Structure 1
Amino acid sequence: MTISALLIAVFICIQPAIAADTVTDVRIWPSPDSTRVVLDMSGSAKYSYFTLKNPERLVIDLQDTKLSKNLNKLDIDSKLLKKVRKSTPKKKGDVRLVLDLTKSIKPVIFDLPPAGPYGDRLVIDLIDTKTKVAKSEKKVGSNRDVVIAIDAGHGGEDPGSIGPSGKYEKHITLSVAKKIAALINKQKGMKAFLTRTGDYSMDLHARTRAADRAGADLFISVHADAFTSPGPSGASVWLQSTTRATTEVGRIFEDQERQSEVLAGVAQSIQEAGASNDQYLKYAFIDMRMEHSRDQGYYVAKEVLSELQHITKLHQHKPQSMSLGVLKSPNYPSILVETGFISNPKEEKLLTNAWQQNRLAKSIVQAVKKYFDRYPPDGTYYAMKKKSTIKHRVRRGESLSLVAQNYNVSISSIKTANNLKSDTIRVGQLLSIPQ
C-alpha cells in the first residue's frame, strides 16, 4: 500500500470521531406551567425520545454524540423537572439523557439552528398536561379595578435584540414591565397583571391567553427596538395593522373555543335575537369587537406618546401600525411600546439605567390613567369617578384655589382632571370637578 493510500484509509477510519456531535451545555428555563430544557450542541442534533411511567421519565437518545457538561451542577428550580442524568445508551458512541419528572408531562421537542448568541440547540419543552388556570371574570355593576396586562417581550431562550455592549432586550423589558406593574398597583382603581414574571420564554398565543384569563382591560407589550446600524434612536408605539386584525378575526371564527371566549359578553343578546346559530352575525360581532379594540388602542397609544415625549426622544411621533402577533385580542385595546433603540450605544446605556426605566414606567402609567379617565370600562372605579365629576364654569374674580376651596377638593385634583399645566384659569372656562 502506498503512503497516500494509507493516509486516506486512516482519514476514513477517524471520520466518525471527527463528525461526533457534542452537548456543550444544558440550560433550564422554568416557568409557572412549563419548563424548557435547552441542549447546546456543536452541530445539528440527531435524536429520538420516549416516555416511561412509574416513575415519570422522559428519555432522549442522541446519536453519535458526546456529553461535555457536568449534569450534577445543573441549577434546577422547576415544578416539573427533578433531575437530568445520563443512562446507558442503546449503542456505543451515543448519549442517553433521562429527565426525571414530578408528574405526567407532554413533551415538545425540536431543534433550532444557530441564531443570535446561540449555536445549534435541541429544545425540550415540558408542559404540564393537568394545569388548570382559573379565569378571572370581570364583575358587572361594581366599582372594580381596571386590569392592565403588562407583557415583557422575549425571555428565556429568546433574548430579543442585543445591544453593542452585550445587553439583552429581554432583561430590559422585564425590568421596565415590573416597574410599570408596581406603579399601577399603587393607583386606586387599577390592578396590574404581568404575563411574564421571570426569565423564561412564552409564545405569543400564551401571552394573550394569559391576559384574557386575567380579565384584562388593556394590554401593553414592552420592547426595545433595534436596527442594523447604531444611528436610529427614540421611542415609538405600535398598533395592530388592519390587515392583521382582519386575519385574526378569521382565525378566531375558526377556533370554536376562542370564539366562545370572545362572544361571552354578547352571547345572551345573540340568543335573545333568535340568532344563536347565525354564523354571519357572530362574525360581525367579532369583527366589531376587533375594530373597537384597535380604535381604543389608538387612543392609548396617543396618550403614551404624549407622555414619553417629555422624558425621551421619539422615533415616531404618531402611533404606527404593523402586523404584530402579540396584539391580537378583540377583548381589550392592545399596544406595543418600543422604549428606545438598544442598538444605539447611548440608548442602550439609558435603557439599562434604573433611573430612566423609572421615568419610562411613570410616563406610561400616567398615560394609562388619562386614558381610563376618558374611556372608563363600565362597572369600574374609573366609570364611577367619571359619573361623579361635576362641571363648573369659571366666573369673574375666581381663582383655582377659590374653586377648589368651594368644592372642598385639592387644587392638584382639579389640575389633573383638566390637564392643566399651571394654576391659571380664565373666565368662562369649563372645569371638571372630581368628587
Structure 2
Amino acid sequence: MAHSANKLEGVRIWAAPESTRVVFDLSTPPKYTHFTLTSPYRLVVDLDATSTAINLSKIENNSKLVKKVRVSKPPKKGTLRLVIDLVKPVKSNLFALSPTAPYGNRLVVDLEGGNGSKQTAVSQPKEQLRDIIVAIDAGHGGDDPGSIGPSGIYEKKVVLQIAKKVEAKINATPGMKAVMTRTGDYFVNLNKRSEIARNSKADLLVSIHADAFTSPKPQGASVWVLSMRRANSEIGRWLEQKEKHSELLGGAGEIIQNTDNEQYLAMTLLDMSMDRSMAISHNIADDVLSNLGKVTKLHKHKPESASFAVLKSPDIPSILVETGFISNHKEERLLTQREHQNNIANAVQRGVVRYFEANPPVNSLIASRSSISHKVKKGESLSVIAHRYQVSVASIKKANKLKSNTLRIGQNLVIPRA
C-alpha cells in the first residue's frame, strides 16, 4: 500500500490583485475533501493516502488573502491535512488538473476576496470628452504557462512583456487609455477578462498571445476575430442570463425587462450590438495586420476567425493577436528581444490608433479634434477612401472642393468627421 501513496511534491502561490491561486503539485491524481473554519479564517484540505517531505514555511507568498500554508494534525493515519491560513473570509473553488507540460498532477485552490473582485471602472465626468479605453489582455499567466518554446521560454512571460509595451504606447497616445487584464504572473479566468474590459467601459479588447505548433516550421504573426458560430451561441447564453441584460444593453436593458416580448427585443438589440462589434473587430484586425506586416513575417494575411473564449463578448469589439510562433526557433528568439517586442507593440498601437482616428466614438477627445488628412496611394479611389473612413464620397468632395472624382497619387485629402 505504501508504494502507491500520493506525494505532495510542491506548493505554489499565485497572487492576483483580488484573488489567489494555490497549487499543490502531486505525484498521482488527488483524492481530497475540504472545509472552512472561522475565528481565525482557514481553509482545510485533507489529501487521502498522501505524504510530503517539503518545508512549507519556505514557500514564496505575496498574496493579500493567504497568510501561510501549513501541515496540521491529520484526522486519521495516512491523510495529509493542509491548512491555508486566511486574512479574511474568501470564496473557494477546488479542482484537480491532470498533467500538462511543464506540470504533473495538481490540486488547484482558487480563492476570491470576499468583497468581489471588482476592477475599478474608468469613470468619466458626464458631458466631458472621454478617452478611448483599450483593454489589453496578456494571455495565460500563473499556473498556465501557455505554449513553451524549444529553449524553454514560456508564452505567458513573453506576452506580458509585449502587452506592457502596448499599454505604455496606448497611454502615451493623447485621447487614449489602456487597462490591463493582468499586470503580473497570475492567471485570470477567461470570463473575468471580458468582465474587466466591460467594467472599465472598454471600446476594444486586444488579447496578446504567441502561437505554437507540433512542428517547428510554421512562423509568422496573425490576428483573430470571433467566429460567427461562436458569436451566435454566445448570444443564446447571454439571453438565458436575464440579470446580464441591463449590463450588456445599457439603459435599454432596464426598459425591456418589464415587457412580454423581452426575449425578442433583447435578441434584436444583442444582434445589433454583436454585428457592430464584429464589424469593428474586423476593421481593427485589418489595420493591425497591415502594420504587423511591416515589422514581422505574417502567417496569415487576412484576419482569421475562431472560437477563442476571450473574444466572446457580444458588446465589446475584440481581437486576438498571435505575435508569432514560439515553437519556431527563430521566432522564439525574436519574441524575447526587446527591439522586436517594441516593433510588435508599435504595430498593434498604430493599427488601433488608425482605426479610432478614422472612426472615433462620438463623445471622445479624438472625435473632437480637427479633421484627419489622407495621402492618396496607388490604386485608391474616392469610394475606397470613403469606405475606409466610413464617410460619404460627397462629404470628401465637399471638404476638398473637388469638381470630379479623379485623384492623383500623393494628393492630400481632408477627411471630414463621420
TM-score (norm 1): 0.84
Indicate yes or no: 2:78 matched with 1:93.
Answer: yes
Match of 1:375 in 2: 359
| Equivalence for 2:53 | 68
| Matched-pair identity in % | 51
| Paired residue type of 2:184 | G
Alignment partner, residue 292 of structure 2? 308
Structure 2 CA distance for aligned equivalents of residues 187 and 259 of structure 1: 33
* Structure 1 residues 64 and 190, CA gap change in structure 2 (3 angstroms): same
Aligned partner of 1:143 among 110, 122, 129: 129
- Amino acid of the structure 2 residue aligned with 1:163: G
2:349 corresponds in structure 1 to 365
1:433 and 1:112, CA in 2 relative to 1: closer, same or farther beyond 3 A? closer
Give the counterpart letter for 2:81 in structure 1: R
Match of 1:242 among 207, 228, 232: 228
Query: When the two structures are aligned, how many residues end up with a matched partner?
Result: 387
SS of 2:239's equivalent in the other structure is helix
Listed one character per residue, the Cα deviations across residues 342-400 of structure 1 (whole Å, up to 9, x for unaligned) are 00000000011111001100111111110001111120011112xx3278999xxxxxx
Match of residue 116, structure 1, among 101, 109, 120: 101
Q: Which residue number in structure 2 is paired with residue 34 of structure 1?
A: 19
Equivalent positions of 1:321-360 (< 5 A) are 321-360=305-344
Superposed displacement of residue 126, structure 1: 1.1
Partner residue of 2:389?
Answer: none
User: C-alpha distance in 1, partners of 2:126/2:214?
Assistant: 49
Q: 1:47 to 1:428 in 2, by over 3 A?
A: closer
1:181 to 157, 167, 184: 167
SS in 2 for 1:84: strand
Give the drift of 1:141.
4.0
Asked whether the equivalents of residues 138 and 215 of structure 1 are also in contact (C-alpha less than 8 Å), the reply is no
C-alpha separation in 2, matches of 1:393 and 1:225: 35
Residue equivalent to 1:255: 241
What is the CA-CA distance between 1:257 and the residue it aligns to? 2.6
Q: Is 2:273 the counterpart of 1:282?
A: no
Query: Quick check: 1:139–1:379 contact (8 Å CA) kept in 2?
Result: no
- Partners in 1 of 2:241 and 2:255 — Cα distance? 21
Determine the structure 2 residue equivalent to 1:4. Answer: none
Deviations 1:54-78 (A, max 9, x none): 0000111111111121111011111
Residue number in structure 1 paired with 2:387: none
Q: Residue 84 of structure 1 corresponds to which residue in structure 2?
A: 69
Distance 2:310 2:267 in 1: 21
Q: C-alpha displacement at 1:329, in angstroms?
A: 1.4
Counterpart position of 2:36 = 51
Given the alignment of the two structures, is residue 172 of structure 1 paired with residue 158 of structure 2, yes or no?
yes
Q: In the TM superposition, what whole-angstrom CA distance separates every residue of 1:203-238 from its partner, at most 9, and x where no partner exists?
A: 110000001001100110000001000000000000
Distance in 2 between residues matched to 1:393 and 1:26, nearest whole Å: 59
Cα distance change, pair 253–268 in 1 and its aligned pair in 2 (3 A): closer
8 A contact 2:246–2:252 mirrored in 1: no
Tell me if the contact between 2:10 and 2:25 (Cα under 8 Å) persists in the aligned partners. Answer: yes
Stretches of structure 1 that go unaligned for 5 or more consecutive residues are 1-15, 395-424
1:62 to 1:132, Cα distance in 2 relative to 1, 3 A: closer
* 1:201 matched residue in structure 2: 187
Cα distance in 2, alignment partners of residues 219 and 55 from structure 1: 40
Query: 1:135 Cα deviation (Å)?
Result: 3.5
Q: Secondary structure at the match of 1:326?
A: helix
Give the 3 Å change call, closer, same or farther, for CA 342–148 of structure 1 in structure 2: same
Counterpart for residue 395 of structure 2: none
Paired residue type of 2:193: R
- Partner residue, 2:413: 431
C-alpha contact 1:204 1:325 (8 A) present in aligned 2: yes
| 2:107 aligned with 1:125 | no
CA contact (8 A) 1:232 1:344 kept: yes
The 2-side partners of 1:343 and 1:277 are apart by 51
Q: Which residue of 2 aligns with 1:408?
A: none
Alpha-carbon distance in 1 for matches of 2:409, 2:234: 50
**Aligned-residue RMSD, C-alpha:** 2.4
2:210–2:322: 8 Å Cα contact kept in structure 1? yes
